[in-house]
Structure 1
Amino acid sequence: MSKKVFLAVFALILLHSLIPPEIPAQEIIKFGAVLPLTGVFGFAGTDTAVAFDDALTLINEEGGINGKKIKWVIEDGQYKLDVAVEAFRRIMEQEKPLFMFGESTALSKTMAKDINERYQVLYASSSFSAELAQSRLNPLSFLAGPTYGDMFAILLKYIAKEKPGAKVVFFCSDSEFGKDPLKYGRITCEKLRIKLVGEILVPLGVKEITGYVDQLQNYEPDFVIFQGFLFDPIPAVIQKCRERGMKTSFMGTFWSATRMILDRLGPLAEGYTVVNPYMYWWNDDVPMIRKIRAYSEKKYPDVKYRDNFYMQGFMAALIAVDCLRRADRAGELNGPGLIKALRTTVNFDSGGLCARATMRNNRLPVGRVWKANVEKKIYEPVSDWIQLDRYNE
C-alpha cells in the first residue's frame, strides 16, 4: 500500500466512531481535531492523530468521562488554512464536540472568535504561541505545555546557571512562528543578566546560509538558540560553525527537540541541547510512558518509536479529559463551565508524561533541558523540571 493510500485509509478510519451506535447520545462526549494528515507536515499530523486515538481509547476503556464514552472525529487540514477552516467548521456543525484540536497557529487565530463566542468549545492546538495562552483574549484555549517564550526562559535559566553572563544569539526563522518568543527572550535575558548579543532572522527554506554564519562568528556567542525550524537550516549552520572552529553551544525548542533532527545531525549533535516539556519514548521508567508503550506494542507491533508530536497530542487529550470530567461533575458542560475547569487545573498529574503543573494563563509553564547523547541517539536530562513563576504573563 502506498503512503498516500495508507494516509487516506487511516484518515477514513479515524472519521468513524469507535462507540457502538446503541449508546444514548447523552452518554457520549465528542472530541474533534483538524490535523495535517497529508502534506508537508503529514509526518507530525499522523503521529498526533495516533496519539488522540490511543489516549481516548485507553480513557474509554477506563470508564471515559465519568461513565460517558468519548467519540472523536479527525479530519485532514493538509496544513492549508482554507482546508483546515472548512474542516473545523464542518466538524463543529455536524458533531458539536466539546473539545477541538487545531493544526496550526494560523488556524487557531482565524477561528479564535468563533471558538470563544459561537462554539464555546474547549480548544488546544499544535502551537505554543504566546497569544493563544492569553486567558483574557482566549479563555477557552490552552497550551499543553509552555509557550515558546517560556521555552526560551527555561533555556536561559539553564544558561544562567551553567555560565553566568554568557553571550547568547537568537537564531530564528523570519516567520510568526520564529519571532513569537523574541520579546520574552529579551526580557528574560535582562532579568538573568545574560548578554543578548544578536538576533538573526532567516527566511524559511533558505539554502545559502554562509552570510548568517558570518554574523554568528562576528557575535562570538557562547550559546545559540534556534527557534522556528523543524530541520533545515540547523544542520548546515552547526556544520559550518564547527568547520570554522567555533566553540558555540547550540540549543533548540520543542519542534527541534525531536529524534528526527538527531538523525539528521548525526555526529554534529554532540553538545546539542533542547527544551522539552514531555518525557521521551525511551523514558520507560515513567508510568505513563510504560502505559503508552505497552498499548502500542499490542496495537502497533511494528512501531518502535513515537516522537514529540505524539506526546504533545497525548498530553492535550489528558488535559481536555481532566477539564471535562470536572465540568461534568459540576453539571457545567458548557462554555462558562469549561472556562472554570480550565482555570482551576491545579497540580495536574499526567502520570509522569510531564511534571505536575498548574495552569497559568492557560498554559503549563514547565519544561526540562535535555542534551543529545550521540552514541545512543537519544536526549538525556541535564536539568530537573524547571517551573516558571511569572515569566511571560
Structure 2
Amino acid sequence: MVIGVPKEVASGENRVAIVPDVVPKYIKKGYQILVEKGAGINAGFPDEKYESAGAKILSDVNDLYSSSDIILKVQRPTEHPTLKKHELELMKKGTLLITFMYSLHYPELAKKCAELGINVISMDAIPRTTIAQRMDALSSQSNIAGYKSVIIAANHLKKIFPLMMTASGTISPAKVVIMGAGVAGLQALGTAKRLGAVVEVSDVRPAVKQEVESLGGKFIDMPTSESMQDASGYAKEQSEEFLRKQKEIIFKHVTEADIVITTALIPGKKAPILVTEEMVKNMRPGSVVLDMAVEFGGNCEISEKGKTVVKHDVTIVGEPNLPSLVPYHASEMYAKNLYNLIEYFTKEEGKFNFNMEDEILKGATIVKDSQVIHERTKALL
C-alpha cells in the first residue's frame, strides 16, 4: 500500500504528519511513502531528508492523492487554497484518511467523507487504553501545548517567575493558576514549577489531586458528590449549578494570580466558561490569561480566537494551535503516534488490516465503507 503525506494547508499549521526518521520504519513494513514537496519545511524537515530516508517527493499534490491508499494528515481536510477544491475531493474512493477529524465538532465533514467513500480514523478518538497509549496523539500534542502555554504566558508577563533574593531586595515568585489537570495542565504545571512559580491547579476530578501534588502544585479543592469523569477518563460536561459553585470557589484564586492558564475541554461540547469577564476585571493590571480551549469556544469569557488582546489591563492570549508553534518536536511525536497505529494493524507486509473487532479501531474509526459508523457522530447527524 502507498502512504501519502500532503503539505498542511490550514492557516497557521506548521506540523507535518511524517518525519524522515519514521520513513524507513514504514518501508521496512512494506509501505511506499510519498511526500508532497515542501511538506516538512515549516517543521524543520527539508525534502532532501525525506529522500535520503527513502520517500519519494512529489511536486503535484494531485498525483500524491491519486496514487495513495492511505493519507496521513494533521488537520482535518479543508478547501485547498490553490486548487480551489476540497482536499477530500482530491482523494480516490476507498482511501483511508488518518488525521485529527474532531467529528463531534464537525459531523458534517464525516458525512462528506461517507458520501465520497473516504474511510476515516480520527486521532482525537483513539481510546485511552494501555495498548493505545503509544498512539495517543491527543496526549502527545497536549504535552507540547502545556509546555508552550507557560513559555508564551511568561513572555507576556511583566514579571519574572522565580523567587529571587538580590542586594536590592527580594522578588516574590509569580503565582500561576492552571484550570484543568489533564495532560496539558500537568505539563503546564511542571513547566511553571521549573521556572520557579508558585502553582495552583483546579480540576473537577478529585482523583487528579495526587498527580498535581506530586508535581509540586497546590490542588484547589472542589467539593462535589458528582461523578466528574466518563469511562474514558475525560472530564464530563457539568451542571450549571456546579459551574456556578466552581466559579465562586476559584474567583479568589484567579484574581490573585499573575497568570491563569485554562485547559478545560469537553469532547463534542463547547468549552465551559471558567474565567468570567468579572474575574478578569478584578485581576491585577499586567496579569495574563492564556486560553488553551479558545478553538472550541474558550474557557475565558472574553478571549478571542487567534488573537492576543488587552482587556481591563489584562493580556488575554487566544492561540488556538499551540503545538504548531513547536512544530519540530510536535511533528516528531505525532509521526510516531501515527506509525505506532499503522504498525499495530499491519499483519501482512504493506497492508493495513482494518480489523473492526479491535477496540482501538472500533473507537477511532469515524467512517467505513461509505457509512458514518462512529455512534456519537452518527447521533449528531
Which TM bucket (shorter chain)?
A: 0.3 to 0.5
TM-score scaled by length of structure 1: 0.37
**Comparing both structures, which one devotes a greater share of its residues to helix?**
1
Larger Rg: 2
TM-score normalised to the size of structure 2? Answer: 0.38
